Chain A
Amino acid sequence: MNLDEILAEATGPSIPQSTLDLQELSRVWVAERVAPELLPWPETLMERVLAGIRRQVEIVEEQTGDMDSKTNFKLIVIQTELERWKFLVRSLLRARIAKIDAHPHHILFTISPTLASQSSSTSYNPDLLSPAESNYLHTHTALLSSHYSSSFLSTFPSALQSLDDTSGGISMISAPDLDTAVFVRCLEDCTVERTEGGESLILRRGDVWVVRWRGVKLKVERGLCELI
């Protein structure tokens, strides 16, 4: 422990939880906008954020009756901030829906324990979607496949009717490209695998790197690195 660390601990003001939530929400949002694949749903964070937004909306509704110019200006500030938070949440959800729409069958395989065990390329992760998103995914794929089968698939031979066929060496299920290059900022010293089985990189706190997503995925999920 050096002097800076001791000083930082002694003098560092305690940061309110709501500020930490804003930091975390922005980080989750940036990561979701940048990462090539869908990231796990931040359940507890989103509960806190949505509860906070609800509370703030109630305050605004209660105080809009006051015509006093001072409260009026306060309300303008509160509402401006509220809109910023709403934008973050909305943009996060829309980015997630875009990824769900892009690879529906891949995500179905990921969230279902039986399907994930059959496939070699996907790993089981039940926390990937929120209940609402999972509902959306199931309904959407069901609608889509019933539409396809009624409009043209039913005229095909029965062996060619499935939408998630993986036999014959070629998988019909499109998956995101995990080797996409991403920009990361290292928050804690760590080592990252550069290529599969290849040499590894040592990332120091504060460094910015362009690396493959596959190599830093776990570090980002554990908070050792952040996407920028």
Chain B
Amino acid sequence: MALPLPPGLTPPEVAFLCEMELVTVIPRQRLDGLELLGGPTPPLTPPLRANLPLWLALLLKRQRRCNILAPPWLHPASLTSILETETEHSKAAFSPAPKLPPKSLSSSSQLTLSPPFLPSSTADSRADALPFHWMEMGELLLSGAADDIADADLVRRLLRDLREVRMAKVRAGVEVLDAGGGVQMNGVGGMEVAEGRAFIGGVVDGLRRIGASREQVKREREAEERERGLANTADDDYDAMDL
């Protein structure tokens, strides 16, 4: 009954979250709008574009009922320029993620949306920023809809390159980890969090434990020195008397 997994999401669970992202499809068959639990889907009329959650788009794609329009950031040109940013311009930090839209003031009671519920992989999303679920999105689209992606092999290679560069940054970032926690990791992706969680969390927690014992040792040493200090002054007094 109880979940036997340690804290933190597993890679399939991160991919599950990613499947809720909206993507743009070009339907090849007519399909009425559906009343789903997660809100109504738009009616599909070829050749009008429509935004659907990724899981539904992949289901339709598998049955050859639609084509998926790859998000702008998944084009070879955008990936090349993002890769250049990652390697040339910001050697330590990740390339910035797409900004969260400004919070509207009138609907302060409304829930704040965040990935995967922001349209960061639809046809009109930004081309120059990797969304939170970039790795999963790329992987799912390459395996489920490779024929809809221009230059799929090049895209696959660029994604692999990006992953390497960014994982190297995660590893290099270990040096700034400290026991107090509080490390900024803007632009990190969902799968990278899942991969790095055990390691980064372990390092921070381990450092905290070492820090705790070191703190205790320091406190003990101080107490000891205070005692020895008292003893030393007593010795000095003794010496002085001897002379």
Contact = CB atoms under 8 A, between A and B. Distances in A.
Interface in A177-228: 177, 179-183, 185, 187-188, 192, 194-195, 198, 201, 205-212, 215, 223, 226, 228
B112 interface: yes
A215 B7 contact: no
A85 interface: yes
B1 interface: yes
Contacts of A111: none
A187 B100 contact: yes
Nearest to A200: B182
A24 interface: yes
B16 to A, nearest CB: 7
Contacts of A20: 110-111
A206 B112 contact: no
B243 interface: no
A39 interface: no
A181 B37 CA distance: 34
A22 interface: yes
Contacts of A8: 101-102, 104
A97 B5 CA distance: 12
Contacts of B184: 207-209
Contacts of B59: 76-77, 80
Contact of B201 (A97, A181, A215): A181
Contacts of B177: 210
A22 B20 contact: yes
B111 A23 contact: yes
Contacts of A24: 111
B34 A183 contact: no
Interface stretch (A87-95, A114-122, A157-165, A167-175): A87-95
B113 A23 contact: yes
Given A23-B117, A94-B1, A98-B2, A212 B181 contact: yes
Nearest to B209: A179
A74 interface: yes
Nearest to A176: B7
Nearest to B185: A208
A19 B113 CA distance: 10
Interface of A: 1-2, 4-5, 8-9, 12, 15-16, 18-24, 26-27, 30, 33-36, 52-53, 56, 73-74, 76-78, 80-82, 84-85, 87, 91, 94-95, 97-98, 100-101, 177, 179-183, 185, 187-188, 192, 194-195, 198, 201, 205-212, 215, 223, 226, 228
28 contacts: A1-B105, A22-B20, A22-B38, A24-B111, A26-B20, A36-B7, A56-B37, A74-B32, A74-B34, A77-B36, A77-B59, A84-B55, A91-B13, A94-B2, A98-B2, A98-B4, A101-B2, A180-B201, A180-B205, A183-B188, A183-B193, A206-B99, A206-B100, A208-B186, A209-B184, A210-B185, A210-B201, A226-B114
Give 4 nearest A-B pairs by CB, closest first.
A181-B204, A19-B39, A98-B2, A94-B3
